[in-house]
Every structure is written in structure tokens, then in C-alpha cells.
Chains A and B, each alone.
Chain A
């Protein structure tokens, strides 16, 4: 898997909101089995880029190819079924329910049961519910939280919530996971642990794409970095290349380093 297979191939991607191009003519390839980071100042269009890839909004121009399939303009639920999962900047979970209960629905997209199955309590439904529960326990174990399965979401820490959000994305059986600021709002030690978890995901054959502001984390974690500024791609390369790129230093690292750190 890790040898140069293209997971995501993006060509001339553009998204305009009125006169503003939030993403402007971005072309980039992300390889399978790698950690790809997207960095850039606030308002650079990073989250819009994710929204386009996940199908949450249609692009104005350009194309998105996922594992050789053209997914441009496809609905987000279809894209999710094809194998792109995502987490959001703000973790969205159901507070009044347990961790495990939150995760069971994650595997729903791999099941077929309809209302009729519920009314007659069909074998298909029972089997699929078992399957979803088993998958939920599996991903909970994967993120190292099986001891918290029956805790309520309100009672767990911010870092644990992030892990549950990861687990929820994992429950969809994705090929590619988009992580939007996974380390936002957690302390350095927890950030380190989360980076370990991201590596573990890649070790299990998942391709990761993440948006992050924490430079230390990105530089040690990413195989490839793309830098966005005002919606345009201004650089792309390994952490070494990005660190030494004068355009990037000018636009981002140099001037904003203190603020971003």
C-alpha cells in the first residue's frame, strides 16, 4: 500500500464565495499510506479545502479523484461510503449518551436495515446491530479508550473526546481520514499522544490528511506538507523543504510563528 499509489488527486480545485476565492486553483496529489498536512494562516482556505474533498460543498471549478474515482460534486454521504471519513474542528458528539453508544452509528453506512427490519425485528437487523457494536468496541480499543465505553461524553476530557471523534471516523472503515485541527485545545503531552495515534492509523493502512497549527507536531509527523495562503497553494513538499522555503517563511512561518505557536 505504501508504495506510490495515489489516494487523492486534485486538479485546479477552486471554490468561490461571491467574489472571494476561498480555494483558488489548487492542484495536489496525496499518496496512499502517508500523513499529509495542510498548513496555512487562518482564513487560508484549509477547512474549505476539506469541505470540498468531503463533498460538503461542490467546487466552483476543478476535479477531485479519490482512488481513481471522480468524486467531484458527489454528495457527502456517498463520498463517506466510498471511504473518506473526517473529523471536525469542534468535536461533535452526543453528550447525553455513553461513549460506546456514540460510536455504534459510525458503522451504519456499511449496513442495509430499514424501518421494516425494525418493525419485524429481522435477522438482518440483529446481525447488523451486532456488527456495529463489535466495530464500535474495536475502534474504541484502537484509540485506547475501551475502559471508557460506558462513561458519558460529558464526563470525559477534551483529549478523550478527540479520540472518540477519531474512533467514530474509524468506524466507517475509511481509506482516507481528514482530520481538521485534531490537536486544537489540548496540551503538549496530549498532542504527543495524539500524534502517536495518527501514526498508528497510518500503520494500519489508512491515509491521513490533516489541518494543524501546531508546527512541532506537523514537522515531526507529516510525510508531505501543502501550504495554503489566501486560497492558493504556495508550496508543497517534505517538512525539510517547507521549513527552508523562502516563500513559506515569508508568508507564514516568519511573520506569524509566535502567534501560531
Chain B
């Protein structure tokens, strides 16, 4: 039992996951499954973004879906209406995500807790309305069709499912790598102090506004880039992308996987995506499955699957091995787990 546990939390596990992800297209039963997995990876990147501001920094941002839509529309409109190639538009989507994130952040982050959540809920709705009603710019309810796919520079064709799968996987790995760096660093610890309490963080000399805006901009940049990838794979987007349901989907993935953990966003997104696939015949009624599941989870596992596992393991190790701890654990050996625990 302990060995399984240790393996799950070890660096080797990450290699296993990566190898599994690389091999997935060969073991998948159909191209459709690869496509579903690629989409799940795209959403996972968005969930990682939300995890920065909500998981690590403790500010519930309900406009996240809106920033995702901004990224998708940036790519859609720039490639279709302005003739840009995908990659420049992709970068523009990240920049726009960061830019609007900054604008919204410096205003909304003056508010605390519920007030911040309500404010961002309104921001998300305004983004939705702008996309739906501003027809001259966004094509309104018609949406944007035949969006340019990512150019493969003559080497690969990203309109094919499998190359696109690897492209998304590449960005997902990059996203997770950067988050793991941040969460373990002093910057990540600073976010975490803010999550415990604004007052405590300030008493430790932390500039609240600067750090919250940084976390917010990071998260909206992630959302923008994830949206851009979605536009590149689906190649048709409509205003429904900015609907609040997508924000709540992302929050659900985060809660199920484990808020404020490194692997939680991935675990939550993949799990819910595949459960959704399995119960697709229920259509709208699938909420009958998810609703109670979520309630049970929030009551009994508020830290999500990964958070519960890590805390349980960490406490067990700390109480089981007092002797070993006294010898050598102070150095780097504990670092590997802290990234996830923190």
C-alpha cells in the first residue's frame, strides 16, 4: 500500500503519465477518442489557469470562461476576417488574454471574497454579451467559421487529429511545467499566503494588489491560449463559448481534481470528460449524475482527489517516521512533494 502511494507521488509517476499520453493515440479505439482527449487537454490548460488565481491565490474568478472565449475569438477573427496566420493569432490571443486580464484585474481585485466573485461573474456576462451583440466585430450569433488551423510549416498537418493531439499535449506539458515551477517558488508561496488570508499576507510584507494582479494575468493568459487552441482544433466557434456554464465546468474540473494542487486540474478534467462521454446518452440529464457526485465530493473531499491523497500521504509519512525525519528530511528530499502539496 505504502509503495503504491509513494510511487503515485514520485517523479517517476510523471514520466509514466507522459509516456501514457504519448502512447495514447496507438491504443485509442478510435480517432474520436483521440479527439476527445485533445479537447480535454485544451480544457485542462484553462483549468490550470484558473488554478493559479483560485487554487493558489484564493480568489474565485467567475469570468474565466470569458477570457477563454476572448482567446478563441482572437484567433477566429484574426485569421478569418484579417487574414492572419494561426501562430501570430495564437500569440495575439495570449497577449489579449493578459491585457484584458490586467484591465479587469486592477479593478476587480480591489474587491474581496464574494464581492470579487460577483464582480467577475458580471464581467463574464459582459464578455458574453459583447461577443453575442457586437455583430460587426464578432459575427454575433452566427459565430466564426472556417478558422485557420495551426500551420505545420510543411512538416505536419494539424488538421489531422493525431498531430493536433501531440501539439496540444506539448502545450499542456509546458503549462504544467511552468505551474510546477511557480507553485514551488517564492512567487507561488506568496500566492499561497494570500490564499490563507489577506491580512496575514500583508503582515508578512506582501503587496496584495501586485501579487493578485500577477496571478490574475497569468490565469487569463492561460485561458486565452487555451481558447486559441480550441479555435484551432474545432475551427468553428460561437458566442455560447463565453457562457457561464463553461466557467462552472472548469470550476468543477478543478474541485474534483483538487484545488491548489499540481496534478488536480489534469485529473479532474480527464475524469469528468470521460465520465461525460460514458453517460452522453443521458444528455442534459447527466447532471443527475454530476450534481450529487459533486455534493458528496465537496462534503467529504473538499480538497479533491489529488489534494486528499497528498494530505493523507503527507500526514501518514510525518507521523510514521519520526526517526527518519530527524535524520535527513530537512534538505531537498522533501521538495518533490511540496510542489504538489503546496
Contacts and interface: CB of A to CB of B under 8 A. Distances in A.
State yes or no: do A and B come from one complex. yes
Interface string B157-169: 0000000000000
Nearest to A83: B205
A154 B315 contact: yes
Contacts of A152: 311, 314-315, 318
A121 interface: yes
Interface string A87-128: 010001110111011001110110101110111010001001
Interface in B177-228: 178, 181-182, 185-190, 192-193, 195-197, 199-200, 202-208, 214, 218
Given A108-B193, A137-B330, A152-B315, A96 B303 contact: yes
B338 interface: yes
A95 B156 CA distance: 48
B341 A56 contact: no
Interface in B303-342: 303, 307, 310-311, 314-315, 317-319, 322, 325-326, 329-330, 334, 338, 341-342
A260 interface: no
Contacts of A118: 181-182, 185-188
Nearest to B181: A118
B329 A150 contact: yes
Contact of B205 (A56, A80, A96): A80
A129 interface: yes
Contact of A96 (B181, B187, B202, B311): B311
Interface string A62-91: 000000000000011110110001101000
Given A88-B199, A150-B318, A152-B314, A115 B187 contact: yes
Contacts, number: 126
B337 to A, nearest CB: 9
A155 interface: yes
B206 A108 contact: yes
Nearest to B189: A105
Nearest to B202: A76
Indicate the size class of the contact surface on chain A: 35 or more
Contact of A92 (B178, B188, B200, B206): B200
Contacts of A129: 185-186
Interface of B is mostly: helix
B203 A76 contact: yes
Contacts of A22: none
Contacts of A169: 203
Nearest to B334: A150
Nearest to A51: B199
A225 interface: no
Indicate the size class of the contact surface on chain B: 35 or more
Interface of A is mostly: helix
A58 interface: no
Contacts of A147: 322, 326
Given A105-B204, A152-B311, A172-B205, A92 B196 contact: yes
Interface in A131-169: 132, 137, 147, 149-152, 154-155, 168-169
A206 interface: no
Nearest to B178: A119
A113 B186 contact: yes
B181 A77 contact: no
A105 B208 contact: no
Contacts of B260: 96
A155 B202 contact: no
Nearest to B307: A96
B315 A128 contact: no
A54 interface: yes
A155 B320 CA distance: 12
A87 to B, nearest CB: 8
Given A115-B182, A118-B182, A118-B185, A106 B204 contact: yes
Nearest to A95: B311
A188 B133 CA distance: 67
A44 to B, nearest CB: 21
Contacts of B181: 118-119, 121
Nearest to B303: A96
A147 to B, nearest CB: 7
Contacts of B329: 149-150
Contact of A132 (B186, B303, B330): B186
Contact of A155 (B178, B199, B204, B315): B315
Nearest to A136: B330
B319 A56 contact: no
Nearest to B207: A77
A85 B206 CA distance: 12
Given A77-B202, A111-B186, A129-B186, 17 more contacts: A56-B203, A76-B203, A77-B208, A78-B205, A80-B204, A88-B200, A92-B199, A97-B342, A98-B314, A104-B186, A105-B190, A109-B204, A115-B214, A118-B185, A132-B186, A147-B322, A168-B204
5 contacts: A56-B202, A98-B334, A115-B218, A147-B326, A150-B334
Interface of B: 178, 181-182, 185-190, 192-193, 195-197, 199-200, 202-208, 214, 218, 260, 303, 307, 310-311, 314-315, 317-319, 322, 325-326, 329-330, 334, 338, 341-342
Interface of A: 54-56, 75-78, 80-81, 85-86, 88, 92-94, 96-98, 100-101, 104-106, 108-109, 111, 113-115, 117-119, 121, 125, 128-129, 132, 137, 147, 149-152, 154-155, 168-169, 172
Sort A-B residue pairs by CB-CB distance and give the 7 closest, nearest first.
A109-B205, A80-B205, A76-B202, A105-B189, A118-B185, A92-B200, A81-B205
